[in-house]
Amino acid sequence: MASHGTATFLWGVPGPEPALVDVMLADRERRPTIAGATIHRPRDHKDLTPVLRDRIPTTNILRTLCDLGALEPERVPGAVGHVITTRMARPDTLLNAVIIHSRRGRAGVPALREALQEWQIDGKPPDSILEPAFKRLVRRFGLPAVTFHQRIGGYEVDFLVDGAQLVIECDGWGPHALNRPNWERGMRRDTDLMAQGYLVIHLTYRQIEREAAATAARIRATLRRWAAHVLTAAS
Q: What is the pLDDT of residues 84-113, one digit of tens each?
A: 878 888 888 888 888 877 766 677 889 998
Domains and their CATH numbers in the chain: 4-117 (no CATH), 130-234 (3.40.960.10)
The closest of 89, 70, 68 to 14, measured between CA atoms, is: 68
Mean pLDDT of all residues in the chain?
87
Distance separating alpha carbons of residues 226 and 55, to the nearest angstrom: 57
| Cross-strand partners of 53 | 56
pLDDT of residue 146: 97
Residue 16 clears pLDDT 90, i.e. is over it: no
Task: Please give the average per-residue pLDDT across 157-163, as a whole number.
Answer: 96
What's the rounded Cα separation, in Å, for the pair 172 and 32?
48
Q: In sequence order, what E strands does 157-220 have?
A: 159-161, 166-170, 199-203
